[in-house]
């Protein structure tokens, strides 16, 4: 099939590459000409395991190409995917300008029947809006070319995007068009061989399904963080509690790790957007609003513990910080808890020496003018002259560090363990003061 994918971010690039891998003729379009130029030469601008190799081989086979020419993009595909960003606007609503700009381009430039698939995460009713925009633009041109609207939300996880796309849990397809549904079934057939994973539904339900999934996951995190904070105050150990509840199959072990709050490009903005759409529909989503409020507070937790430990005298101190990406196996720092922490530390007059296995260049971009922050290329470098170590992202390489070395190098042997990576007893025996999340006695 001939496919055009608008937007070559995490979702567009992975979608385009995986469809190309199955033998489709994929053209990826992005308005960022510099990104397109890099992609054309096989260079992948993001860190995503396995992606670069797959991009390269599909370019070589002629299945995958890139352009910034929107007209060429609209002309190429029988199926046109919209996979552009939908960032949060100031009021928390999803900013639809990029989605609607693609819709207008399609209306202005299409010459043959197409299926238009929205893969971006968008508020309920957006597919109707896209459909209306295309219809109006077409009638402005005085033409009537048929097109079919589909909502096909994406559930991939950054850091495991390729395998998630190749082996999806489910394939949600919302449409009222029979032709649209047939085309999507055909396109997804190679990913749907083991058992039928397609969940057909109407456009609005498909749009809400994506928000429901992310809000459910964000709720699990905020609830565990809340329980961890209660644990801290009551002298219980949330890690024991976690194991004690995870065995219940109605609860399960997945996604119930306490930590420093969720970040990334999706949960924060999708939680906000759902609160906003509900509000517009006359409903106050109280639980979802609390999920957001708990998370905002949780992003401060390491700072609060640190501040308490140093009797609020932080100015002039230096801290080693491990982990900048919002989670392991990605270089994405959008809404990362590390950023809240760095900002708070610098505001309080401290200096930060930070390391991340993959997000160093992203951090240098984000914090270009920040004198208080040094990005180190080696994790041991961060410890030099540091008054404590903060662990923010649970990369594998942080799991079993050389504690002897850390203790020798740090000015004061204190570790703020934002992901409960370390055993409190072992660290205690090694002479560390160890603060974790919800492990009792660490918050006074």
- Contacts for 122 with CB less than 8 Å, ≥ 6 apart: 86, 94, 96, 99, 151, 207
Selected binder of ligand NAD within 3, 102, 208, 224 (CB under 6 A): 102
Least spacing, CB of residue 323 vs ligand NAD, in Å = 18
3-state DSSP call for residue 225? helix
Please list every residue from 302 through 331 that binds ligand NAD, using CB under 6 A.
none
394 near ligand NAD, rule: CB under 6 A: no
* C-alpha pair distances (Å), 62 with each of 18, 21, 26, 40: 14, 11, 9, 12
Selected binder of ligand NAD within 47, 66, 81, 98 (CB under 6 A): 98
Stretch touching ligand NAD by CB under 6 A, among 80-88, 356-364, 369-377, 385-393: 80-88
Least spacing, CB of residue 61 vs ligand NAD, in Å = 23
**Strand pairing partners for 64?**
26
Residue with tokens 């041991």: 380
- Contacts for 303 with CB less than 8 Å, ≥ 6 apart: 340, 341, 344, 345, 348
417 near ligand NAD, rule: CB under 6 A: no
Residue with tokens 């990104």: 35
Least spacing, CB of residue 235 vs ligand NAD, in Å = 38
- Spatial strand order in the sheet of 171-175: 64-67, 25-29, 2-6, 79-82, 114-118, 147-151, 171-175, 198-201
- Contacts for 110 with CB less than 8 Å, ≥ 6 apart: 74, 134, 138, 145, 147
Least spacing, CB of residue 68 vs ligand NAD, in Å = 8
Stretch touching ligand NAD by CB under 6 A, among 150-158, 191-199, 253-261, 367-375: 150-158
**Cβ neighbours, 10 Å, residue 189:** 11
Selected binder of ligand NAD within 154, 356, 358, 394 (CB under 6 A): 154
DSSP state of 398: G
Quick one: which of 38, 33, 30, 83 has its CA closest to 56?
Answer: 38
Stretch touching ligand NAD by CB under 6 A, among 23-31, 343-351, 425-433, 435-443: 23-31
Quick one: which of 105, 151, 161 has its CA closest to 127?
Answer: 151
Selected binder of ligand NAD within 2, 22, 25, 32 (CB under 6 A): 32
35 near ligand NAD, rule: CB under 6 A: yes
Instruction: Considering the complex, state which of residue 159 and residue 440 has its C-beta at the smaller distance from ligand NAD.
Output: 159
Stretch touching ligand NAD by CB under 6 A, among 25-33, 198-206, 225-233, 292-300: 25-33
Least spacing, CB of residue 262 vs ligand NAD, in Å = 12
Instruction: Considering the complex, state which of residue 102 and residue 321 has its C-beta at the smaller distance from ligand NAD.
Output: 102
Helix-then-strand count for the chain, H and E: 17, 14
Least spacing, CB of residue 133 vs ligand NAD, in Å = 13
Least spacing, CB of residue 415 vs ligand NAD, in Å = 30
Active-site annotation, residues: 266
Least spacing, CB of residue 49 vs ligand NAD, in Å = 14
**Strand pairing partners for 56?**
none
Q: Which two tokens stand for residue 214?
A: 């992310």
Instruction: Considering the complex, state which of residue 71 and residue 143 has its C-beta at the smaller distance from ligand NAD.
Output: 71
Instruction: Considering the complex, state which of residue 261 and residue 438 has its C-beta at the smaller distance from ligand NAD.
Output: 261
83 near ligand NAD, rule: CB under 6 A: yes
Buried b (16+ CB within 10 A) or exposed e, 226-238: bbbbebbeeebbb
Give the interface size with ligand NAD as a residue count (CB under 6 A): 26
266 near ligand NAD, rule: CB under 6 A: yes
Q: Which two tokens stand for residue 224?
A: 């565990």
120 near ligand NAD, rule: CB under 6 A: yes
12 near ligand NAD, rule: CB under 6 A: yes
Which residues are near ligand NAD by CB under 6 A?
Answer: 6-12, 29-32, 35, 83-86, 98, 101-102, 120-121, 154, 156, 158, 265-266
């Amino acid at each position: 099939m001939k496919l055009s994918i608008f937007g070559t971010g995490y979702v567009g690039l992975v979608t385009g590459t995986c469809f190309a891998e199955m033998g489709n003729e994929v053209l990826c379009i992005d308005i960022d000409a510099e990104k397109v130029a890099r992609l054309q030469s096989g260079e992948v601008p993001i860190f995503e395991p396995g992606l670069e190799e797959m991009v390269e081989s599909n370019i070589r086979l002629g299945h995958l190409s890139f352009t910034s020419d929107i007209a060429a993009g609209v002309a190429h595909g029988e199926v046109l995917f919209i996979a552009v960003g939908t960032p949060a606007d100031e009021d928390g609503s999803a900013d639809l300008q990029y989605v609607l700009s693609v819709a207008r381009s399609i209306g202005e430039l299409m010459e043959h029947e197409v299926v238009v698939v929205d893969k971006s995460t968008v508020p309920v009713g957006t597919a109707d809006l896209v459909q209306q925009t295309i219809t109006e633009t077409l009638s402005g041109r005085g033409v009537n070319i048929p097109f079919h609207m589909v909502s096909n939300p994406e559930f991939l996880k950054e850091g495991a995007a390729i395998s998630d796309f190749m082996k999806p849990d489910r394939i949600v397809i919302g449409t009222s068009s029979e032709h649209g549904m047939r085309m999507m079934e055909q396109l997804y057939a190679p990913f749907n061989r083991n058992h039928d994973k397609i969940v057909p539904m109407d456009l609005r339900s498909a749009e809400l399904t994506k928000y429901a999934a992310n809000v459910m996951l964000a709720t699990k995190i905020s609830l565990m963080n809340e329980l961890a904070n209660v644990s801290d105050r009551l002298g219980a150990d949330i890690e024991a509690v976690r194991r004690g509840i995870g065995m219940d199959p109605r609860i399960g072990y997945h996604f119930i790790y306490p930590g420093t709050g969720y970040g990334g490009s999706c949960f924060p903005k999708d939680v906000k957007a759902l609160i906003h759409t509900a509000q517009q529909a006359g409903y106050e989503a109280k639980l979802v609003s609390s999920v957001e409020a708990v998370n905002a507070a949780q992003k401060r937790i390491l700072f609060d513990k640190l501040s308490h430990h140093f009797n609020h005298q932080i100015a002039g101190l230096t801290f080693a910080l491990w982990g900048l990406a919002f989670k392991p196996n990605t270089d994405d720092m959008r809404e990362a808890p590390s950023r809240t922490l760095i900002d708070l530390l610098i505001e309080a007059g401290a200096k930060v020496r930070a390391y991340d296995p993959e997000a160093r260049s992203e951090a240098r971009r984000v914090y270009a003018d920040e004198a208080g922050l040094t990005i180190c290329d080696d994790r041991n470098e961060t410890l030099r002259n540091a008054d404590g170590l903060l662990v923010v992202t649970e990369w594998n390489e942080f799991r079993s560090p050389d504690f002897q070395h850390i203790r020798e190098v740090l000015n004061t042997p204190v570790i703020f363990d934002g992901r409960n990576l370390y055993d409190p007893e072992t660290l205690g025996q090694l002479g560390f003061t160890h603060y974790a999340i919800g492990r009792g006695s660490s918050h006074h």
